[in-house]
Amino acid sequence: MSASLEQILFNHNALDKRGSALTLRVDYDEALAGPEWSRQPGRPPVELPIAYAARAIDPQSLGVFANFSWNGLPPERLEVQAIPARPRRSPADPRTAFLRALAESWASISPQLSQFYASVADAAEETSPILGRIAPTPVSIGPDEESGAVFLKISGDVLRASAVGIHEIAWRWQYRTASTPRWQDFDTSFHRIFTTLELPVAPWLQEPAEIWNSALPWSKALELACTWAAGARLRRDISALICAGVYGMGEKQVEYGCPVGAREMYTNTPVGIFDLTAFIERAEGGLGNGPYVNCTDCACAVSTFANLLGAELWQGRMGQYVPAFMLRDSQTIGHSSWGSPCNLGLGFMFHEVGWSGECRENDEIYDASVVVDGNLSPFAHLPFALLPAGIPFGSVWQTQYRRMLAAPESLLVCHPRPFERRRRALI
């Protein structure tokens, strides 16, 4: 006679994310459906990605639904629990293996000593994962040897206080009955969990939670965003780290598109879309839409990845179209030389960036396409390379982004266009 774990459902409430995981899909083309962990006869268990919006969590409401089965006559009283175990990607600890061997060798001689060694091994192996442990919970087994869905409470304090990141966890499942009061191991489940700061912001949606909704958060996008912004605990930090991550692609994957006339390669403004699928492919070392990007492509990437983690950026424009505004010396993404974009000295008809708030003078800029000169001295000087990530746009009188980007004679032409702010749809 033994218990068996059949499935675990983390995303159990599509409308209320205070105690439930986010509704996800893999990418634009592939949806996710069903429990995040489920047993497959004769095959390894299905393990789907899991994501939580940390600050949206109510620690008192957090939990999962699990299904169990029992082989044999259902016990009069059954309890299950899950304790943290070493994640699959972590190296085995020889100390815990030794302690478990001792527990097994003493099981028939001294059950109390065996249980002591097992408890010490549990304590040594416990890694304080993001979801902690599942406390002992009564489970009723029906005549069909199935439990049905059982709600298992999880302490949400650690999750609520967590930063953006990717977490590998494992639960070692145990049961006990009235006739066997000592906890018995019966299964181990492994899980990959993404933590965002807040609920995703447009263009991402949580409703409707249907397989056709391509605006549900993508696990492929979470892989990239949570890697770039790992450790962030503030929206401003998320935006700055994502901006740095996109700009960092200029080392190998992308460069400013001078050879193609600096046109959009990952964005289609007339249609209002951003090709996130191709951009992720490029970021992962694939072809995507090629190596060239412009300011609009970068603005879409920064705002889209940052908003996935709960930031609230827009794709905002500055300038007047005609005439263009001239620039101080700068460096475009993928290039290390100082000068004007493409060394043409033509300036920008407009410039597009990730922008906070209402995309006005007092709101912050996150520009992954252009590194500006932070040295505003009017005399001959060595340029100070500054990635504009969290700098207010500023008025013509302030020593902020506007004066670092635009030439003095173009400060009035380089003005915000808040009425054009947008968040393009994703493909």
Q: Rounded to the nearest 5°, which phi and psi values hold at 122?
A: -60, -45
Can you give the three-state secondary structure of 146-177, one letter per residue?
EEEEEEEEECCHHHHCCCCEEEEEEEEEEEEE
Query: What is the spatial distance between Cα 161 and Cα 279, in angstroms, rounded to a whole number?
Result: 31
Query: What is the spatial distance between Cα 388 and Cα 3, in angstroms, rounded to a whole number?
Result: 56
* Nearest Cα to Cα of residue 337 among 418, 240, 256, 249: 256
Contact 123, 96 (CB under 8 A): no
Task: Report the relative pairing of strands 50-53 and 184-196 from DSSP bridges.
Answer: parallel
Query: What is the spatial distance between Cα 374 and Cα 384, in angstroms, rounded to a whole number?
Result: 5
Which bin fits 290, alpha (ψ -120 to 50), beta or left (φ > 0)? left
The reported pLDDT for the residue numbered 86 is: 82
**Cross-strand pairs, 70:** 3
Query: What is the spatial distance between Cα 232 and Cα 237, in angstroms, rounded to a whole number?
Result: 6
The one-letter amino acid code at 401 reads: Y
The reported pLDDT for the residue numbered 305 is: 98
Query: What is the spatial distance between Cα 314 and Cα 416, in angstroms, rounded to a whole number?
Result: 13
String of DSSP letters for 22-48: PP-BSSSS-B--S-SEEEETTEEEEE-
* Nearest Cα to Cα of residue 29 among 280, 307, 267: 280
Burial (CB count <10 Å: 0-12, 13-18, 19+), residue 382: exposed
Contact 10, 22 (CB under 8 A): no
The reported pLDDT for the residue numbered 107 is: 77
Contact 199, 56 (CB under 8 A): yes
pLDDT < 50 positions in the chain: 91, 126
Query: What is the spatial distance between Cα 47 and Cα 291, in angstroms, rounded to a whole number?
Result: 34
Query: What is the spatial distance between Cα 409 and Cα 328, in angstroms, rounded to a whole number?
Result: 10
Query: What is the spatial distance between Cα 51 and Cα 214, in angstroms, rounded to a whole number?
Result: 17
Query: What is the spatial distance between Cα 173 and Cα 186, in angstroms, rounded to a whole number?
Result: 6
